[in-house]
Amino acid sequence: MSISRDEAREIAIAAILLTIVVRLTAGLLQMTDELIGSWTFGSLADRLFAPVGSTIGMLALAAAMIVVLSPTGSVAIGVIKVVRWTAAVVAVVGILAALHTITRANNNVLAGVWFAMINGLAAAILGGTAWWILTNFNGDR
């Protein structure tokens, strides 16, 4: 069995997006596990945002770059829309994770900001960049 370059691009994009979904779903599973024992809303949010970091941001940007660097028409419009929406979700979840981390830093605000910077903010920047690129990309230039 052989595949074309166009098919390879879309398969790679699908694998990247699926990996993002798996990472975010891991947070939902951790949150569900937390519900079984004694929990607080803060502990639930801790578990939900635990997998949010630069990895999902890099994956969103990688998918966007595959789209942008591919010849015009070689990636289906629907796939491009899914990548754009996924990038937006990564950016929003990253911002929420960063805000949660900073607000939960009780005694050591600097440690909270540092942790937010390397995790949630990194995801937000990379996901937001991917969304912005796809939103403003002009394939005719």
The structure tokens listed for 61 are: 């940007």
Please name the residue that has the structure tokens 């990253």: 94
| Banded model confidence at residue 9, pLDDT cuts 50, 70, 90 | very high
User: d(Cα 73, Cα 91) in Å, to the nearest integer?
Assistant: 26
User: d(Cα 112, Cα 127) in Å, to the nearest integer?
Assistant: 21
Question: What share of the chain in percent tops pLDDT 90?
Answer: 78
Average pLDDT, the chain: 93
What is the model's pLDDT at position 139?
81
The structure tokens listed for 102 are: 């900073």
Cα 87-22-2 angle, rounded to 5 deg: 85
User: d(Cα 132, Cα 88) in Å, to the nearest integer?
Assistant: 9
Taking only the tens place, the pLDDT of each residue in 90-111 is 999 999 999 999 988 777 888 8
| Banded model confidence at residue 38, pLDDT cuts 50, 70, 90 | confident
User: What single-letter amino acid sits at 15?
Assistant: A
| Banded model confidence at residue 125, pLDDT cuts 50, 70, 90 | very high
Q: Which residues contact 23 (CB under 8 A, 6 or more apart)?
A: 51, 52, 55, 56, 59
The structure tokens listed for 46 are: 């801790």
Model pTM above 0.85: yes
The structure tokens listed for 56 are: 């999902």
Taking only the tens place, the pLDDT of each residue in 53-90 is 999 999 999 999 999 999 988 999 999 999 999 999 99
- The residue count of the chain comes to 141
What is the model's pLDDT at position 106?
73
| Banded model confidence at residue 30, pLDDT cuts 50, 70, 90 | very high
